[in-house]
Chain A
């Protein structure tokens, strides 16, 4: 893990002195702001969406939560390795006395930190809701936990994609495709009859996960799935980076 902090700091620096992180965060917050405004307007009027209130609706019921994640996560991670390999700076990085796992984890942690920073302003929505009505804090906490779990897995897949190609565009498209597959398979929950196929689809469905968590139900099985989605791609990334040496 030598070198973790140095690389972590540099990755955050690189993300935030270049426009990429700012553009992504701004775009994301614009979409979520609209999303929130629509929901609040709905709930303020005579509505049939009253079940659970605005927080489960925001975190668990609309496409506007998932669609931005499918684009934002790949864009956040695409440059992590691809850019360094394209420009050659990876050579200086990997000849420093640091371990591969330190490099991979530091880069991943920087992307995850940016993801958290990106979500942080949405806490204001909760503050707004708390001032005008009752807020179920358990479901707020569970919702953010669920989002963190989803993002952690998505970013790990993105990190892996970035290590697999020298083109940032290809890295972004590869991880977006993987996320889309997961999302689409998750929709199988609504397509299949009861049975193992449906159970499997429901298990990996991000929609299902956020449905549970936004209602305040923290399902350990979901978290195990998320942790797997972090560990396997990151392990693969370490092996991929090591494999460059022997290519």
Chain B
């Protein structure tokens, strides 16, 4: 559905970008493909080049070099054929504030060349899918951010394009709406190919089957969600325990698999014990052993909480040193 090969984009010298003179590329030699029926997450910190890549895929920006094919159509050679197969939701989904949601979708349906007779049905279907039937007659300027976001989503869904490109579809939504949108995206995966960007790791885990990770314009990892999960495994735990802190630290430090342990006083006369594991992948077993050892030593364990690697740590790990081989990454998972 999407074939990207050696895609690069650099902005003009005076339009900013990173580095002196904007010489650095916003997108640097990216290649990947997304097959029909996949839900693929495009993950990266802010400013990594996610939106730029998506804009190129959607045909809004031109690439500096490389090629993009959508459903077999080259986005530069046959832009209208390619764009007709994409439902694109831009970041922050900018809309015309002076139009009602229904009017806007009717306008977009006409613009997307949906035949006159089918337009009304197409709009009704998109309104229903995005669950915004109740605001059909409301001016977009009066809608809350969450509703506006969903009008943008309805716009992308109009006419059931085979490929959906969604730029941060859950940005600005409250937790309930986020859950709804994630469910919607999962259900869309049955009939559509979905390519969505996000800077939230759990979002990819919740919705996608596969993920691409981008940082500083380069593709740094590609693989299944399990591979990503592995990167996020707990690097340590924090315990709230009752007892004498020196003894507690000694028990923890002596355990195999623990790299470092430190104690600090916590409210309620407890001790907060922070433990770093030597190896992230053995975290579950080490946690078990640690709690058992503490209990055996007569220490009262009140609370155990895992310290997951933050997205920043994952990105740091991915972007440090050599570029990883995506295939090897997938296999390792």
23 contacts between A and B (CB under 8 A): A2-B80, A5-B110, A6-B110, A10-B96, A13-B99, A13-B103, A14-B96, A17-B98, A89-B94, A91-B90, A92-B88, A92-B108, A93-B111, A95-B59, A95-B88, A96-B111, A96-B112, A97-B80, A97-B83, A97-B111, A97-B112, A245-B62, A246-B62
Q: Is B107 close to A, CB under 8 A?
A: yes
Q: A93 to B90, alpha carbons, bound, how many Å?
A: 11
Closest to B93 in A: A92
Closest to B94 in A: A88
Best-buried of A5, A10, A17 by chain B (most CB within 10 Å): A10
B108 to chain A: closest CB distance in Å? 7
Q: Is A94 close to B, CB under 8 A?
A: yes
Q: Given A3-B111, A6-B111, A95-B88, 20 other A-B contacts at CB below 8 A?
A: A2-B113, A3-B110, A10-B96, A13-B103, A14-B96, A17-B98, A88-B90, A89-B95, A89-B96, A92-B108, A95-B59, A95-B60, A95-B86, A95-B90, A96-B108, A96-B111, A96-B112, A97-B80, A97-B113, A245-B60
Q: A29 to B96, alpha carbons, bound, how many Å?
A: 29
Q: A14 to B93, alpha carbons, bound, how many Å?
A: 19
What residues on A are CB-neighbors of B110 within 8 Å? 3, 5-6
- List the 6 closest pairs (A to B, CB-CB), nearest first: A88-B94, A6-B110, A97-B84, A245-B62, A97-B83, A91-B90
B112 to chain A: closest CB distance in Å? 6
Question: Which residues of A (77-134) have their CB < 8 Å from a CB of B?
Answer: 87-89, 91-99
Q: A174 to B59, alpha carbons, bound, how many Å?
A: 30
Contact status of A92 and B155, CB under 8 A, knowing A10-B107, A87-B94, A245-B61: yes
- The proximity string for A residues 7-24 relative to B, scoring 1 for CB distances below 8 Å and 0 otherwise, is 101100110011000000
A107 to chain B: closest CB distance in Å? 13
A16 to chain B: closest CB distance in Å? 10
Tell which of A17, A91, A98 touches B111, judged by Cβ atoms closer than 8 Å. Answer: A98
Q: Are B92 and A88 in contact, CB atoms less than 8 angstroms apart?
A: yes
A163 to chain B: closest CB distance in Å? 16
Q: A6 to B106, alpha carbons, bound, how many Å?
A: 9
Q: A91 to B99, alpha carbons, bound, how many Å?
A: 17
B297 to chain A: closest CB distance in Å? 60
Q: Is A247 close to B, CB under 8 A?
A: yes
B11 to chain A: closest CB distance in Å? 7
Tell which of B83, B94, B107 touches A91, judged by Cβ atoms closer than 8 Å. Answer: B94
Q: A247 to B110, alpha carbons, bound, how many Å?
A: 29
What residues on A are CB-neighbors of B90 within 8 Å? 88, 91-92, 95
Q: A247 to B56, alpha carbons, bound, how many Å?
A: 12
Closest to B58 in A: A95
Question: Which residues of A (141-155) have their CB < 8 Å from a CB of B?
Answer: none
Q: Are A95 and B83 in contact, CB atoms less than 8 angstroms apart?
A: yes
Question: Which residues of B (12-55) have their CB < 8 Å from a CB of A?
Answer: 12, 15, 55
A69 to chain B: closest CB distance in Å? 26
Question: Which residues of A (222-239) have their CB < 8 Å from a CB of B?
Answer: none
Q: Are B60 and A14 in contact, CB atoms less than 8 angstroms apart?
A: no
Q: A99 to B80, alpha carbons, bound, how many Å?
A: 7
Q: A9 to B106, alpha carbons, bound, how many Å?
A: 12
B122 to chain A: closest CB distance in Å? 14
Closest to A93 in B: B111
Q: A4 to B91, alpha carbons, bound, how many Å?
A: 25
Q: A133 to B71, alpha carbons, bound, how many Å?
A: 69
Q: A96 to B161, alpha carbons, bound, how many Å?
A: 12
Q: Are A91 and B60 in contact, CB atoms less than 8 angstroms apart?
A: yes
Q: Are A94 and B111 in contact, CB atoms less than 8 angstroms apart?
A: no
What residues on A are CB-neighbors of B12 within 8 Å? 247
- The proximity string for A residues 52-93 relative to B, scoring 1 for CB distances below 8 Å and 0 otherwise, is 000000000000000000000000000000000001110111
Best-buried of A5, A9, A91, A247 by chain B (most CB within 10 Å): A91
Q: Are A247 and B15 in contact, CB atoms less than 8 angstroms apart?
A: yes
Tell which of B55, B83, B94, B107 touches A6, judged by Cβ atoms closer than 8 Å. Answer: B107
A245 to chain B: closest CB distance in Å? 4
Closest to B61 in A: A245
What residues on B are CB-neighbors of A7 within 8 Å? 111
Q: A88 to B60, alpha carbons, bound, how many Å?
A: 11
Tell which of A6, A93, A98, A246 touches B80, judged by Cβ atoms closer than 8 Å. Answer: A98
